[in-house]
């Protein structure tokens, strides 16, 4: 009888084991039904730079810093993603957390320390939940009282009526954006639906279009005009795309991500006229609407401008998106968000409702957070003063850093940075020497990705290369958030300055 040591058996190759009869040759073949070769090819096209290879490497370095591995820095500065609470510089607002806590554990309402105004709001919300529990499924569109509060919020913001039946709560704005894009797909492989997206753009859009097999119609933002939308550029973009796709919609991000611009009212009017001319469905990504810092700048919602323009523009189809993740609240992990659909064909709306019902509902906790955001304490209520104080502190810090970051970057030789008017990001343009560009391409890397990897390894600064958001050919950028504490921001830019000058010397 053949006897085989168990350890040797575990180390032996399948070919040896087959030779001695331990496994059959038939069993040597892979039993994987799903392999990289037969994986849905559209999935392989999806890219998402905000959590890409540079960010993965940053995580590895953080682990190595805890061990014996030595780096020329003692911490990684995470400036790659707009995660307010993770930045360490923003704590949750008391009002939002008390409201969610009361909804989650109603026994807290019995405490005399629990504010009476929040208690009333919790009881109102739970009264329409199944079993008076936030743990029950909600209506597919979302909890009715929250949708009513969102409609009131929109009406107060714009001065035009909003119908709660047109409000859809979703798992973060990203989920709503993907749902609406899905509605615009035509499933024609020879001439797929085309969606106009800005360049630079938030990579959710290019990733979603890749996933759906749609055609991205890229239009360039005007960097020399503080990232405004240029109508001639929109016309160029759509006209060049018509042979390859069927243009169906246009995405506008305002305030901008990654560029931090805030569109003027005139700019928005011109975009709406363009969309009307080409019969495009308008998708207004307005998740940073409460993040406007530059004096003289003001947020105008696409809905308000559309309505102000009157007929025929006020009959245009529009989806506008908001999120619990951004603004002064920064509740990213709650995955709260909503979108409003206006001027949608009633038969189409039936299909929308059917589509979202297949997912039952969005997370009820995210809905509750969104409800707290759009219905904050009012003056005279017990929670108001603390809420006002905390909200002002968050906004003022962001405003200070928005001004600081562009000034600091512009003080570095070979770097240009437009003023951060809104949102949470700066998108400075960086000079990369020709020798470094050629070296990066020889390594099959985008030049700004090579630059950002070097920046991470030598300084611990984690940012996202501009190529992850797309950019004009021949230009190179990086995106950084303005979320780290001010002392870290100053430290980050000084480290960046030293690195950049060294990089220019090395590669020139």
Looking at the structure, do residues 493 and 347 belong to the same domain, yes or no?
no
Sheet strands (E) in 362-405: none
Handedness of CA 9, 15, 21, 22 (dihedral sign): positive
Looking at the structure, do residues 370 and 240 belong to the same domain, yes or no?
yes
Q: What is the C-alpha to C-alpha distance for residues 257 and 395, in angstroms, rounded to an integer?
A: 18
Among 379, 294, 370, smallest CA distance to 338 is for 370
Q: Could you give the 3-state DSSP secondary structure of residue 220?
A: strand
Looking at the structure, do residues 308 and 411 belong to the same domain, yes or no?
no
Q: What is the C-alpha to C-alpha distance for residues 4 and 123, in angstroms, rounded to an integer?
A: 69
Domain that holds residue 265: 137-374
The pTM for the full model equals 0.85
Q: Which two tokens stand for residue 61?
A: 């370095």
Looking at the structure, do residues 351 and 399 belong to the same domain, yes or no?
no
Among 375, 388, 415, 298, smallest CA distance to 94 is for 388
Radius of gyration (C-alpha) of the chain in whole angstroms: 26
Environment class of 78 (CB within 10 Å of its CB; exposed 0-12, middle 13-18, buried 19+): buried
* Phi, psi (degrees; rounded to nearest 5) at 263: -70, 140
Give residue 289's pLDDT.
93
Looking at the structure, do residues 451 and 360 belong to the same domain, yes or no?
no
Q: What is the C-alpha to C-alpha distance for residues 56 and 79, in angstroms, rounded to an integer?
A: 13
Q: Could you give the 3-state DSSP secondary structure of residue 506?
A: helix
Question: Does residue 253 lie within any of the structural domains?
Answer: yes
* CA triple 413-464-40, angle to 5 deg: 150
Looking at the structure, do residues 417 and 310 belong to the same domain, yes or no?
no
Q: What is the C-alpha to C-alpha distance for residues 277 and 271, in angstroms, rounded to an integer?
A: 10
Question: Does residue 414 lie within any of the structural domains?
Answer: yes
pLDDT in tens, the chain (508 residues): 334 344 333 444 444 444 444 555 445 555 677 777 766 666 666 665 555 788 888 888 888 888 878 888 888 888 877 777 666 667 888 999 999 999 999 998 889 889 999 999 999 999 998 889 888 888 888 999 999 999 999 999 999 999 999 999 998 888 899 999 998 988 888 899 999 999 998 888 988 898 888 999 999 999 999 999 999 999 999 999 999 999 999 999 999 999 989 999 999 999 999 999 999 999 999 999 999 998 888 999 999 999 999 999 999 999 999 998 887 888 877 788 999 999 999 988 888 888 888 888 888 888 999 999 999 999 999 999 999 999 998 888 888 888 888 888 899 888 999 999 999 889 999 999 999 999 999 988 899 999 999 999 999 988 989 988 888 988 999 998 888 888 888 888 889 889 999 999 988 8
Looking at the structure, do residues 402 and 313 belong to the same domain, yes or no?
no
**Domain CATH code at residue 152:** 3.40.640.10
Among 154, 246, 349, 293, smallest CA distance to 146 is for 154
Domains identified in the chain, total number = 2
Indicate the DSSP class of residue 281: E
**Domain CATH code at residue 54:** 3.90.1150.10
In this structure, are residues 179 and 373 in contact, taking their beta carbons and an 8 Å threshold?
A: no
Distances, alpha carbon 482 to alpha carbons 55, 94, 500, in Å: 17, 23, 19
DSSP string for residues in 66-122: TTT---SSSS-EE-SS--TGGGTS-PPPHHHHHHHHHHH-GGGGGSTTS-HHHHHHH
* Phi, psi (degrees; rounded to nearest 5) at 477: -140, 175
Question: Does residue 97 lie within any of the structural domains?
Answer: no
In this structure, are residues 451 and 465 in contact, taking their beta carbons and an 8 Å threshold?
A: yes
Q: How crowded is residue 4: how many other Cβ atoms within 10 Å of its Cβ? A: 12
Looking at the structure, do residues 498 and 370 belong to the same domain, yes or no?
no
Q: Which of 374, 409, 434 is the endpoint of a domain?
A: 374
Cis (ω within 30 of 0) for the bond into 387?
A: no
Name 370's Cβ contacts closer than 8 Å, sequence gap at least 6: 146, 150, 169, 324, 334, 336, 337, 338
């Amino acid at each position: 009888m053949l006897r085989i040591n168990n350890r040797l058996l575990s180390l032996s190759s399948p070919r040896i084991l087959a030779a001695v009869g331990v496994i059959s040759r038939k069993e040597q073949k892979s039993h994987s039904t799903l392999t990289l070769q037969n994986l849905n090819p559209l999935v392989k096209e999806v890219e998402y730079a905000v959590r890409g290879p540079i960010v993965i490497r940053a995580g590895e370095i953080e682990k190595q810093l805890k061990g014996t591995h030595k780096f020329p820095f003692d911490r990684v500065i995470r400036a790659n993603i707009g995660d307010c609470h993770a930045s360490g510089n923003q704590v949750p607002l008391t009002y939002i957390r008390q409201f969610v806590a009361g909804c989650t554990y109603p026994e807290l309402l019995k405490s005399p320390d629990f504010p009476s105004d929040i208690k009333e709001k919790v009881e109102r919300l739970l009264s329409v939940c199944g079993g008076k529990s936030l743990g029950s499924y909600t209506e597919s569109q979302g909890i009715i009282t929250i949708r009513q509060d969102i409609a009131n919020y929109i009406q107060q913001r714009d001065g035009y009526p909003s119908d709660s039946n047109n409000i859809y709560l979703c798992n973060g704005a990203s989920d709503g954006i993907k749902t609406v894009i899905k509605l615009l797909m035509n499933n024609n492989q020879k001439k797929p639906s085309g969606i106009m997206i800005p360049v630079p753009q938030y990579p959710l859009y290019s990733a979603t279009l890749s996933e759906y097999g749609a055609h991205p119609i890229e239009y360039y933002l005007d960097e020399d005009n503080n990232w405004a939308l240029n109508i001639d550029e929109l016309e160029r973009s759509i006209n060049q795309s018509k042979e390859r796709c069927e243009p169906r919609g246009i995405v506008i991000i305002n305030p901008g991500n990654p560029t931090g611009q805030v569109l003027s009212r005139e700019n928005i009017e011109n975009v709406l006229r363009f969309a009307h001319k080409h019969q495009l469905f308008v998708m207004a990504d307005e998740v940073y609407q409460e993040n406007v810092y530059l004096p003289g700048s003001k947020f105008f919602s696409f809905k308000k401008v559309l309505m102000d323009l009157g007929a025929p523009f006020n009959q245009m189809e529009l989806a506008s998106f908001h999120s619990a993740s951004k603004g002064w609240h920064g509740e990213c992990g709650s995955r709260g968000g909503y979108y409003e659909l206006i001027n949608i064909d009633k038969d189409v709306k039936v299909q929308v409702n059917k589509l979202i019902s297949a997912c039952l509902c969005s997370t009820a906790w995210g809905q509750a957070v969104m409800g707290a955001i759009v219905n904050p304490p009012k003056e005279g209520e017990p929670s108001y003063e603390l809420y006002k104080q905390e909200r002002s502190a968050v906004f003022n810090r962001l405003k200070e850093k928005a001004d600081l970051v562009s000034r600091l970057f512009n003080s570095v030789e070979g770097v240009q940075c437009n003023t951060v008017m809104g949102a949470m990001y700066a998108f400075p343009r960086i000079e990369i020497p020709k020798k470094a560009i050629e070296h990066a391409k020889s390594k099959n890397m985008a030049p700004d990705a090579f630059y950002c990897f070097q920046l991470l390894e030598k300084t611990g600064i984690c940012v996202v290369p501009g190529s992850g958001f797309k950019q004009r050919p021949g230009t190179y950028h990086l995106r950084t958030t303005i979320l780290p504490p001010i002392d870290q921001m100053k430290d980050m830019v000084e480290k960046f300055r030293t690195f950049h000058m060294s990089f220019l010397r090395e590669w020139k």
